[in-house]
Amino acid sequence: MSDGNNKRPSDPWTDDSYLDQQTSGSKEQVMSDNQVDNKTWKLLEKAVLASVSEQRRARRWGIFFKTLTFAYLITMLFFFSPFGSSSKSMSSGAHTALIEVRGMIADQESASADNIVSALRHAFEDKNTKGVVLRINSPGGSPVQSGYIYDEINRLRGLNPTVKVYAVISDLGASGAYYIASAADEIYADKSSLVGSIGVTAAGFGFVGAMDKIGVDRRLYTSGEHKAFLDPFQPQNAEETAFWKTVLNTTHRQFIESVKQGRGARLKDQEHPELFSGLIWSGEQALELGLVDALGNSSYVAREVIGHERLVDFTLEESPFDRFAKKLGAGVAESVAIWAGFNGPQLR
């Protein structure tokens, strides 16, 4: 007999609750598998998108660097072409030619003889040039470079007697700069300009004491008795020092003769013997000494003296590349030589 309270064991094949549990478990498993697949696809999608983005970024940088290289090549071609270094002239109509004399007067500088002389020739060759203004702001420099410019001004004036040259000193027109100015027909300056310094100097250093202190021996071999007389690592020799002064005195004499030739009777050197002593004066004082003819600037000279107010700049400008190369090359060597005391005479 069977107990009415006892239940028959459930048959998994016929029991609906059992089937429901199994079906629910299968659904959950399928959902879990789907979630894993979705995450996998999302990761793959992100990886693909990141790869595409990286390729685009690399392509953009590639285009950027190619463009930069192209621009660099074009710039270099411009620097090395005749257009990279030229005069700023080429103007139609009557005008006053302007040439800047700025900074040190020395080879490889903007105020080198080659640059100034080239600008002068271009200005005189222009048939519309009615007068030339040298606007000077320079402490001086090489007597050779200054003398070269001085001679060329006189030559061009002789070939073109109707075209006058006027020197206009702005802040500073000293030494070699005044040497150049004295070749002009007339010199103008501001009342506060610094003018003059008609003298010669040669400076250097002596390292003999320093070498003795640190125990360094100088070993120099020459084939001439006085070949190394400017060597800063050797003691001064009285005979060589006296000789060097004769060289400076000769250069000074040449400087004075050129100034006298250019200025003539306008100089008051008889009343003021200190005129050629290397001293420097204000523009107002220079006017009283005969170093300048009048007070005025370049615009005044163009307008009131030459009669053609329009200024056309004939200054020869070097390309930025040339200036950069010189600063890194010859400029560095020249600076080291000057620092070591190997520089020649300077008009200062």
State residue 315's pLDDT score. 95
Instruction: List the single range of 75-79, 80-84, 188-192 with lowest mean pLDDT.
Output: 80-84
**Is the predicted pLDDT of residue 136 greater than 70, yes or no?**
yes
- pLDDT over 70 percentage in the chain: 75
Distance separating alpha carbons of residues 172 and 216, to the nearest angstrom: 43
Question: Nearest to residue 162, comparing CAs of 308, 267, 290?
Answer: 308
Instruction: Using pLDDT thresholds of 50, 70 and 90, give the confidence band for residue 1.
Output: very low
For 259-287, the pLDDT digits (tens) are: 999 999 999 988 898 999 999 999 999 99
How confident is the model over 242-254, as a mean pLDDT? 91
| DSSP three-state, residue 240 | helix
Q: Is 63 exposed, middle or buried (0-12, 13-18, 19+ CB in 10 A)?
A: exposed
Q: What is the CATH code of the structural domain delimited by 83-347?
A: 3.90.226.10
**Is the predicted pLDDT of residue 85 greater than 50, yes or no?**
no
**Is the predicted pLDDT of residue 104 greater than 70, yes or no?**
yes
Main-chain dihedrals φ then ψ at residue 268, nearest 5 degrees: -105, 45
State residue 45's pLDDT score. 72
Amino acid (one-letter) located at 279: L
Question: Nearest to residue 127, comparing CAs of 166, 89, 94?
Answer: 94
Domain residue spans in the chain?
Answer: 83-347
Residue with tokens 């400087």: 255
Q: What is the pTM of this model?
A: 0.67
Tokens of 302: 């163009």
Distance separating alpha carbons of residues 118 and 71, to the nearest angstrom: 31
Determine which helix (DSSP H) or strand (DSSP E) holds 223, and give its type and residue range.
Answer: none
| DSSP three-state, residue 136 | strand
Distance separating alpha carbons of residues 97 and 50, to the nearest angstrom: 64
State residue 25's pLDDT score. 55
How confident is the model over 318-327, as a mean pLDDT? 56
Instruction: List the single range of 67-71, 162-166, 234-238, 325-329 with lowest mean pLDDT.
Output: 325-329
Cα torsion 336, 341, 346, 348: sign: positive
How confident is the model over 66-94, as a mean pLDDT? 62
Instruction: Using pLDDT thresholds of 50, 70 and 90, give the confidence band for residue 106.
Output: very high
State residue 84's pLDDT score. 44
Decide which of 339 and 289 is more confident. Answer: 289
Tokens of 294: 């009048």
How confident is the model over 317-335, as a mean pLDDT? 57
State residue 249's pLDDT score. 92
State residue 326's pLDDT score. 53
